[in-house]
Amino acid sequence: MSRFLTPTLEALQPYTPGEQPQEKQYIKLNTNESPYPPSPWVAAALTADEAARLRLYPDPACSTLLRAAAVRYGLKPEQILPGNGSDEVLFFALRAFCDAKHPVAFADVTYGFYKVWAQLLNVPAHVIPLEEDFSLDPVKYCALSETIVIANPNAPTGLALKPAEIEMILQENPDNVVIVDEAYVDFGAESCVPLIQKYDNLLVVQTFSKSRSLAGARLGLAMGSEALIADLNRVKFSLNPYNINRLTLLAGAASLRDDSYFRRTCAAVVGTREWTERALLKLGFTLTESYTNFLFAKTDKMGGRQLYEALREQGILVRHFDAERTKDWVRITIGTPEQMNTLIETLKTILAKEE
Ligand SMILES: *Cc1c(COP(=O)(O)O)cnc(C)c1O
């Protein structure tokens, strides 16, 4: 830290991303990436000619990508804003709709970045505890005078609200923006995108990092009323008009067009999740009900950190969150069937040592 850093930044606790080891080969079940490559249409779009065109700036309006996204989601291109990962559009939204006098509300156990952005932007955070079983009580989100962010399905718990429950929150907060972060929605929950036509206070955020196997490309979408998207564009064009690079624009559009590949790979992940759930239950694990590409699991044989470390020693990376309510748990990303088989066999050995 230099002596020049502002007090706000000095006090801030930055987000800690999951480990991305560049050397030792791990079975990587720690950052909810897809075990499958993106659609072959993505590689086909990334030609040598396109590489040569990298001398040119990308289209700041992202027109081709927006047309493909509009078709996929049944929206107008003006109702969508692409970001450099959904992280960027979430940040744009908090920058646009919150400030020192306009707080943001979110759950105590949820995506860790919401808290970091609130600190970075000097926005007061209203943290609303989840219930004992990690479920979210929509009643606690009624009649707030704050912007609301809900990850649905939630991470790391995997639980999902029904659109009717989100709809109640939208109705009870007509003067607040309600941001629904649908990073995991493609793995079995119901999307709130259809509610966009009905509620001008709804902003839905999705990512290409999980269900579209494009974490390395950095692409996410914010979707909402034309007015909300215009607000986000004010932030984008005040910060970085070229936020999506040329190759990612091409990759994203190709991925959106190949709907059948998208559906097949999501279904494969869900199938592997169901198999892994049964195998973990047989080993005595407690699980939350997952609507995502990960499982949130605990065993009474050892704590979360101990389990994380034992797996790491055997070459398997999972995620442990060292907070009071999550310390007994680990979050396990769904990999290929073969990887999950190795996980289960490894867990058997680890747990046998604890007998
Ligand atoms: C992974 C994740 C994101 C961020 O995704 P990117 O598009 O890779 O920035 C946002 N929200 C939640 C809940 C996530 O799990």
Domain edges within the chain? 7-37+260-352, 41-258
Q: Indicate if ligand 1 lies below 6 Å from the C-beta of 86.
A: yes
3-class DSSP assignment, residue 36: coil
Ligand 1 atom at minimal distance to the Cα of residue 111: 13
Domains 7-37+260-352 and 41-258 belong to one CATH topology = no
3-class DSSP assignment, residue 288: coil
What's the whole-number mean pLDDT along residues 301-326?
96
CATH code assigned to 7-37+260-352 = 3.90.1150.10
Quote the pLDDT of residue 65: 98
Q: Is the pLDDT of residue 24 over 90?
A: no
HSE-up of residue 13 (Cα within 13 Å, Cβ side): 5
How do residues 161-182 score in pLDDT, each as one tens digit? 999 999 999 999 999 999 999 9
Q: Is the pLDDT of residue 23 over 90?
A: no
Quote the pLDDT of residue 41: 98
pTM, two decimals, is: 0.97
Residue nearest to atom 14 of ligand 1 (CA): 183
Ligand 1 center to 212 CA (angstroms): 12
Phi-psi region of 221 (alpha: psi -120 to 50; beta: other; left: phi over 0): beta
CATH code assigned to 41-258 = 3.40.640.10
Q: Indicate if ligand 1 lies below 6 Å from the C-beta of 84.
A: no
Q: Is the pLDDT of residue 355 over 80?
A: no
Token reading at 27: 């079975």
Reference 142, options 161, 168, 162; nearest CA is: 168
What's the whole-number mean pLDDT along residues 211-225?
98
Ligand 1 center to 52 CA (angstroms): 30
Q: Indicate if ligand 1 lies below 6 Å from the C-beta of 179.
A: no
Cα Rg, the chain, nearest whole Å = 21
Q: Is the pLDDT of residue 138 over 90?
A: yes
Quote the pLDDT of residue 124: 97
Ligand 1 center to 301 CA (angstroms): 31
pLDDT band at 58 (very low <50, low <70, confident <90, very high): very high
| Percent of the chain's residues with pLDDT above 70 | 100
Q: Which residues of 39-60 are buried (b: 16+ CB within 10 A; e: fewer)?
A: bebbeebbeeeeeeeeeeebee
Quote the pLDDT of residue 161: 98
